[in-house]
A = this chain, B = another copy of it.
Amino acid sequence: MPDCAKRLDAIEPFRVMAILARARALEAEGRDIIHLEVGEPDFATPAPIVEAGIAALKAGQTHYTPALGLPELRQAIARYYGGRYGIDLAAERIAVTPGASGGLLLAMAALFDPADEILLADPGYPCNRHFARVVEARARTIAVGPDTGYQLTAELVASQWGPRTRGVLLANPGNPTGSVIEADTLRAIHAVVREKGGWLLVDEIYHELIYDRPEPTAVGLGDDVIVINSFSKYFLMTGWRLGWLVLPPALVPAIDKLAQNLFLAAPTVAQHAALAALAPATRPLLEARKMELRARRDYLLPALRRLGFEVAAKPAGAFYIYADCSRFDGDSERFAERLLLEAGVAITPGTDFGGLSGRGYVRFAYTVDLPRLREAIARMEAWLR
């Protein structure tokens, strides 16, 4: 067989997928496994969204939409920023994408040439650096810790900016830490990136899953910022594969032609369903799910700390707790494997989220209900004793 592309060596599989496969194999043997490894809410898509999808199918909505999405959905997303954040946004600046994944690929392909460098935080979502590699740009990860809330700062961006740096990709809130970049820091980073003449990209896919405080969005910073968002998490539409970009007006034609070529369009039924996701009547259902996630966090965080996991700060968003497990085992992959095999609790080793710090950390996803979380804590308590 001929050789494959060299980039494959730089793109790692998710270790969590091996954990998941192992967990499923144990379940097939009759073991009961608690799944705290999967980055997907356990909730089904709320009924009004599903019903809108069914209605669209019944109405024969099975053809392609325009490459940038249904005009009424682009308008609804623009209005969402108006209603929720008081930001006046032209619908033309919205590109509807096949998941946030599709949006990230479009943005990377439109902005970065080979060997262009993009700064990212480590720990971080691994796909983000892999998208850079697919277009032969280079992600440079910067180790961040509890002192900066596991996020980049303006000072870090300024000091790490190199001759080949062309942009910064933030995630707000971040995965695996759930940590939030506050509005002041966002503004300061934006100012540095603008001064350097680079691109600022902000992944806000967990954006509405910020608890107890306002959600600082980068959309209001200026029309030179690229924001990536998704219907997957807060709107509970993972399997529908739908996201969006908020774009600088001058980028829209470039993204349009790339989307025509790379995707044709996002799934039509998902776009019609998403109109219901943004409808006011659906919001209380989504908020109730969010409150349930918050209650899980508020149970799990002190419980993990009581067991001896160190968590620097209360995670403000997403549905993850990134915990230092080095007191038990300095090798998080071994720790996660033993916890699965011996206690039946599946978690993700921190090495999925970066090479710099992940060895001593694990990620708990609170994507099971409170009774199962309590059972997980009980199992871990007995096992760690």
CB within 8 Å of B: which residues of A?
A: 1-2, 4-8, 11-14, 17, 40, 44-45, 50, 53-54, 57-58, 60-65, 67, 98-99, 101-102, 105, 109-114, 116, 126-127, 130-131, 134-136, 166-167, 197-199, 224, 236-241, 248, 250-251, 253-254, 256-258, 260-270
What are the residues of chain B within 8 A of A134 when measuring CB–CB? 109, 134-135, 262
A258 touches B11 (CB 8 A): yes
Could you give 26 example pairs across A and B, Cβ below 8 Å?
A2-B197, A4-B110, A5-B113, A6-B113, A12-B257, A17-B260, A44-B60, A44-B63, A50-B60, A53-B269, A62-B240, A65-B239, A98-B102, A101-B262, A114-B114, A127-B260, A130-B262, A134-B135, A135-B136, A136-B136, A239-B268, A239-B269, A240-B269, A241-B267, A241-B268, A267-B269
> Which B residues are in CB contact (< 8 Å) with A250?
1
Shortest Cβ gap from A262 to chain B (Å) = 6
- A134 smallest CB distance to B (angstroms): 5
CB-CB under 8 A for A238 and B62, given A110-B8, A136-B114? yes
Smallest Cβ-Cβ distance to A136: which chain B residue: B136
CA distance A50 to B60 in the complex (A): 8
| B110–A239 touching, CB < 8 Å | no
Supply 7 further A-B pairs (C-beta < 8 A) apart from A14-B257, A239-B269: A4-B111, A4-B254, A14-B260, A17-B67, A57-B57, A130-B261, A240-B267
A112 interface neighbour in B5, B60, B112, B197, Cβ under 8 Å = B5
Q: How long is the Cα–Cα vector from A13 to B255 in the complex, in angstroms?
A: 10
Shortest CB–CB separation between residue A65 and chain B, in angstroms?
A: 7
A13 and B260 form a contact (CB under 8 A) = yes
Which B residues touch A98, using CB under 8 A?
Answer: 98, 102, 241, 263
Q: A101 → chain B, closest Cβ, in Å?
A: 6
- Complex Cα distance, B67 from A11, in Å, reads 15
Q: Which 9 A-B pairs have the closest CB atoms?
A: A239-B268, A13-B257, A45-B62, A136-B136, A130-B261, A44-B60, A241-B267, A127-B261, A267-B267
Residues of B within 8 A of A102 (CB): 98, 263
The smallest C-beta distance from A234 to any residue of chain B, in angstroms, reads: 14
A257 near B64 (CB under 8 angstroms)?
no
Bound CA span A45–B61, Å: 9
Chain B residue nearest to A271 (CB atoms) is B239
The winner among A99, A197, A261 for most chain B CB atoms within 10 A is A261
Which among A57, A60, A126 has the greatest number of chain B C-beta atoms within 10 A?
Answer: A57
Known: A58-B54, A239-B63, A239-B268. A254 touches B8 (CB 8 A): yes
Chain B neighbourhood of A238, CB < 8 A: 62-64, 264
Please measure, in the bound complex, the distance between the C-alpha atom of A313 and the C-alpha atom of B247, giving whole angstroms.
Answer: 46
Alpha-carbon distance between A241 and B136 when the two chains are bound, in angstroms: 26
Q: With a 10 A CB-CB cut-off, give which of A14, A98, A116, A267 has the most chain B CB atoms.
A: A267
Residue ID in chain B nearest A109 by CB atoms? B134
Instruction: Report A56 CB to chain B, min CB distance, Å.
Output: 10
CB distance from A355 to the nearest CB of B (A): 16
- CB pair A131–B50 under 8 Å, yes or no, is no
Contact B44 A62 (CB under 8 A): yes
Q: Is there contact, CB below 8 Å, between B264 and A267?
A: no
Which residues of chain B come closer than 8 Å to A4, judged between CB atoms?
Answer: 110-111, 251, 254
Indicate if the CB atoms of A11 and B261 lie closer than 8 Å: yes
Using Cβ atoms and an 8 Å threshold, which residues of chain B touch A2?
111, 166-167, 197-199
Instruction: Decide if B262 touches A61 in the complex (CB within 8 Å).
Output: no
What chain B residues lie within 8 Å of A7 (beta carbons)? 109, 113, 135
B residues in contact with A111, CB < 8 Å: 2, 4-5
